[in-house]
Structure 1
Amino acid sequence: MGVGRRLAVAVVMTAGAVLVSGGGVAAAQAATPAAVHTLTLPAAPAGHVTAAAPFVAPHGTLRLGAKGAAVKELQTRLRELGYVPGRLDAKYGGTTQSAVWAFQKVQGLSPSSTINARTWRALENPKVPQVLVPNGKPDRVEINLTKQVAVLYRAGAVKLITHISSGSGIPYCETATWQGKTQRFCGDARTPTGNFKTTWRRSGWHKSYLGQLYNPVFFNGGIALHGALSVPLFPASHGCVRLPMHVAAILPGLLGTGVPVHVKGRFQR
């Protein structure tokens, strides 16, 4: 199989990675999401419900793997509201699933792969994300650890809303080869709350002593917003903020250096 073909296959595989655990270094290095760069966001930020177009939900229930016109309506509506469902391809896969999770969490619904009457009604009359910093800068990121959601604001309006997985809070000690030496690293796996700013970043896969980070944007020492092959419905990282791969592919282009990052809340298991 040629290189181009392998990369294309890797993208398709990683599109569903938010639903599964695992994905080692080899898989991470192979998964270069070239195709997701074709994603587009709404021409105007759609965070304010009053600015969103009227929406009449279709009837019926959708489950992961569904295809058809109703799925495309779901994807289109999510994108109108600032979520990132991936391509509007009428296929309910992993990228759309991560956007559904984010939407459901913002609406106060239990995240699920099933689109039922409650989720359709919420799509007709959606709530905006809770503002964590009412007097924050017009351009900023707010990370809600309680809901496991991140919101990017541009010019004071919601530009992007995404599902995340933050630090697990479970202390760890791991042995890794770093800078040519076998070393042991220990930590508390927390994502510290507070007010920070974006600093340095890397494009593509970046190897750290605790694993692989895709398109990391650092904001608190070694803690970054970054893409990962596993972004489950609970905090699971060593302390970074994991993003779905297709979101991490576009976020660096929307998020400059020195942009405030506010981390608030606490996840209750």
Structure 2
Amino acid sequence: MLVMTRRDLFRAGSVAAAGAALAGGAVAGASGAGAAGLAPSAAASAAAVSSGLRVGSRGPKVVALQNRLNALGYYAGRADGVYAGQTRQAVLAVQKVAGLSRVGSVGTGTASALNRGVRPKARSTSGHVIEIDKARQVLLVVDGGRVTRIYNCSSGNGHYYYDRGKRVRAVTPSGTFRFYWQVANGWQHGRLGDMYRPMYFNGGVAVHGSRFDVGAWPSSHGCVRVYNGTMDELRRGRAIYLGGTVRVY
């Protein structure tokens, strides 16, 4: 019951933030930052995004970028004006959704996509669902058929590897599953590598943080890798929880 209550709080926070953004004249369909309370003001979220920003950039243009990302649901963390890891992950997610070059820096195409308010659509129509879009390599948090958060992710790369002498292909299976086991905090050390706060949903397949760069393309043994900060955010807001639904396609 406690998990469900916190899940409901996450959903309520997302809906409230979205309502505030719409009431303030932000882009229609944009989501605030949900339970983390990171939804920017309407004025900040509406500020035009500039090109020429990359990891290491600092200042008000980065603040405008981060506010815009958060307003559209691409989680960039706190708008601190520093273009670092979480901001790069959010930019990669935008580039994947918009079909742009996956470089992690903001060129004219990415700035245009953000200023147009490009967002993905959900396949689920009801309930709280985590969707894994393998074609675009993004993880979506969906509530009632509406995408509330978008994160960069990486799934199975399709290559073959050997596990306990058996030849296995690195594939993330498609289908609908439920999270059934977790490591609540810290790292799990496995045969194929270390996993940060894994949430398992299909045998040995989990959503987890990784020591490796999540990057732009499929790169895992079959699990769904996300940035460690993303995993913390998903757990903190109870976007993922035991018994929750996962839809992989």
Q: TM-score range by the shorter chain?
A: 0.7 to 0.9
| Residue correspondence of structure 1 range 71-110 to structure 2 within 5 A | 71-110=62-101
**Within 2, Cα distance between the matches of 1:190 and 1:58?**
37
Q: 2:176 aligns with which of 195, 209, 212?
A: 195
With normalisation by structure 1, the TM-score equals: 0.72
Shift of 1:206: 1.2
Name 1:225's counterpart in structure 2: 207
Is it true that 1:132 corresponds to 2:123 in the alignment? Answer: yes
Ranges in structure 2 where 5+ consecutive residues have no aligned partner: 1-12, 31-41
Letter in structure 2 aligned against 1:44: A
Number of equivalences? 214
Contact 1:45 1:82 in 2 (8 A): no
Structure 1 residues 142, 58: CA separation in 2 closer, same or farther (over 3 Å shift)? closer
Contact 1:202 1:217 in 2 (8 A): yes
Name 1:241's counterpart in structure 2: 224
SS for the counterpart of 1:247 is helix
SS for the counterpart of 2:28 is helix
Q: Deviations over 1:146-184 (max 9, x none)?
A: 10011011344323211111011101015xxxxxxxx54
Q: Deviations over 1:113-165 (max 9, x none)?
A: 331222222212122213233x3x32001111110011011344323211111
Name 1:7's counterpart in structure 2: none
Name 1:152's counterpart in structure 2: 141
**Within 1, Cα distance between the matches of 2:99 and 2:135?**
11
**Within 2, Cα distance between the matches of 1:194 and 1:59?**
39
SS for the counterpart of 2:180 is coil
Name 1:24's counterpart in structure 2: none
**Within 2, Cα distance between the matches of 1:105 and 1:234?**
10
Q: Deviations over 1:202-255 (max 9, x none)?
A: 122112221111111111111000001221211111100000110011212321
**Which stretch of structure 1 is more off in the superposition, 140-149 or 153-162?**
153-162
Name 1:162's counterpart in structure 2: 151
Structure 1 residues 51, 263: CA separation in 2 closer, same or farther (over 3 Å shift)? closer
With normalisation by structure 2, the TM-score equals: 0.78
**Within 1, Cα distance between the matches of 2:206 and 2:83?**
29
**Within 1, Cα distance between the matches of 2:231 and 2:58?**
25
Ranges in structure 1 where 5+ consecutive residues have no aligned partner: 1-40, 175-182, 265-269
Q: 2:193 aligns with which of 203, 211, 214?
A: 211
**Within 1, Cα distance between the matches of 2:203 and 2:51?**
47
Contact 2:49 2:115 in 1 (8 A): no
Q: 2:132 aligns with which of 127, 143, 146?
A: 143
RCO higher in 1 or 2 (8 Å CA, sep ≥ 6)? 1
Contact 2:103 2:216 in 1 (8 A): no
Q: Deviations over 1:31-71 (max 9, x none)?
A: xxxxxxxxxx9662589951544623144521221111000
SS for the counterpart of 2:113 is helix
**Within 1, Cα distance between the matches of 2:191 and 2:167?**
11
Contact 1:45 1:158 in 2 (8 A): no
**Within 1, Cα distance between the matches of 2:49 and 2:155?**
34
